Amino acid sequence: MQPLQILHPDGTLAAAPPVGRDEARRLFAAMVHARVYDRKATAMQKQGRLATYAPFEGQEAAQIGSAAALRPDDWMVATYRDAAAMWMQGYLWEDLLLGRIGDERGGSPPEGVPVLPPSITVGAHMLHAVGLGWAERLRGEDRIAITYFGDGATSEGDFHEAMNFAAVFTVPVVFLCQNNQYAISMPVSRQTASATIAQKADAYGMPGVLVDGNDVFAVLAATAEAVARARAGEGPTLIEALTYRTGPHTTADDPGRYRSGDEAAAWRERDPIDRLRAHLRAEGAWDEAWEQGILDEAAAAIEAAVARAEALEVWHPREIVDGMYAEPTAPLLRQRDALLRDLGES
């Protein structure tokens, strides 16, 4: 299987892009914006202002390109590494940061944003997307669901059950696998003996598509097609986007223990932002000032998000039992009272 490619690594075109110039510029701006966030979050973690953080640098095209194919009311269920995609679908940077600061309120996007809080467990969440899409179909709505996951996640039993349910019940869901070559320290070649992840779709009677995940046009085109299929009632699609995480698994990880500098350097040559920039420049659609403007705007927006997130006071211990049920149960109320007594707050 050859991955679908529209933009060559040097920025020349292999095929007609799926979007016009303005939209291409918008995609570029979004990718740059996301990278600013990612670097800021990484820096904050080093300063001890975030708990662990899972950087996505290198995967911007896979996330932004795919999310750009969605309608604003489509459901999204993604992971700890998919902040860029979630933000594209309406999740706020400040809420993403809050989660990383270690505050449950980060799991609560603005009302109406159809994006679930990031999944920390690997695998289980794909089934949630199946249920969401299925529910819409049962109601006769044409909203679809998309779920993001990594190469490692394809080993979990829940991946299998999600793919199977989606295909058996013709659920409108797109499975977007970012094969970033590693699951923590494990290369994808030790995760599965199949040549590609895309080919796993056939086991479920579902189309599987392999795309160059650092080619934002290819990702967008493939996702748009899958979304259209789903919306038309033709069922699920598995997309494997080949990409690479430039940084560590999380800020607690040292990739030097398991991968070579050469490999990382080779992938850096395929950087998704550089690639689109080269294309835009060749088209006369890019100049340095414009990019600087995006960077400045992004920095300001993200600083503001950081400020809002960090300004939020820790909730009062009284609230500790409030999240579990619509109304705290009798045992929880007793436990809360005992806690407040112990804290001298009752």
Partner 1 sequence: MAQAINQALHQAMGADDRVVLLGEDVGRTGGVFRVTDGLQEAYGEARVVDTPVAESGIVGAAFGMAVAGLRPVVEIQFMGFTYPAYDQIVSHVGRIRNRSRHRFTAPMVIRFPYGGGIGAAEHHSESTEALYAHTPGVKVAVASGPRVAKGLLLAAIEDPDPVIVMEPIRLYRAIREEVPDGPTIVPLGVAEVVRPGSDVTVVAYGSMLRESLRAAEVLEGAGVSAEVIDLRTVSPLDADTVIASVERTGRAVVVAEGHRTAGMTAEIAALIGERALYSLLAPVERVSGLDTVVPLKRAEQYYVPDAARIAAAAARTMEA
Q: Within 13 Å of residue 336, how many CA atoms lie on the same side as its CB?
A: 15
150 binds Mg ion (CB under 5 A): yes
Partners of residue 177 on adjacent β-strands = 149, 240
Residue 111 Ramachandran class (φ > 0 left, ψ -120 to 50 alpha, else beta): beta
What type of residue sits at position 8? H
Which residue, 29 or 119, has its beta carbon nearer to ligand TPP?
119
> How many amino acids of this chain bind partner 1 (CB under 8 A)?
79
- The sign one gets for the Cα dihedral 328, 330, 333, 335 is negative
Q: Which residue, among 33, 38, 32, has the nearest Cα to 56 in the 3D structure?
A: 38
Q: Which does 299 bind (CB under 5 to 8 A by kind): a second copy, partner 1, ligand TPP, none?
A: none
Q: Are 114 and 142 in contact (CB under 8 A)?
A: no
195 binds a second copy (CB under 8 A): yes
168 binds a second copy (CB under 8 A): yes
Q: Are 4 and 221 in contact (CB under 8 A)?
A: yes
**Is 258 one of the catalytic residues?**
yes
Which residue, 145 or 222, has its beta carbon nearer to partner 1?
145
Q: How far apart are CA 116 and CA 124, in angstroms?
A: 13
Which residue, 184 or 282, has its beta carbon nearer to partner 1?
184
Radius of gyration of the chain from Cα atoms? 21
128 binds partner 1 (CB under 8 A): yes
Q: Are 95 and 105 in contact (CB under 8 A)?
A: yes
**Is 148 one of the catalytic residues?**
no
Q: How far is the CB of 212 from partner 1 (least distance, A)?
A: 24
Q: Which does 194 bind (CB under 5 to 8 A by kind): a second copy, partner 1, Mg ion, none?
A: a second copy
Q: Which residue, among 147, 121, 150, has the nearest Cα to 134 in the 3D structure?
A: 147
Among 55, 109, 117, 123, binds ligand TPP (CB under 6 A): 123
112 binds a second copy (CB under 8 A): no
**Is 37 one of the catalytic residues?**
no
233 binds partner 1 (CB under 8 A): no
270 binds ligand TPP (CB under 6 A): no
Which residue, 108 or 194, has its beta carbon nearer to a second copy?
194
Residues lying near a second copy in the complex (CB under 8 A) are found at: 155-161, 164, 167-168, 190-195, 199-200, 202-206
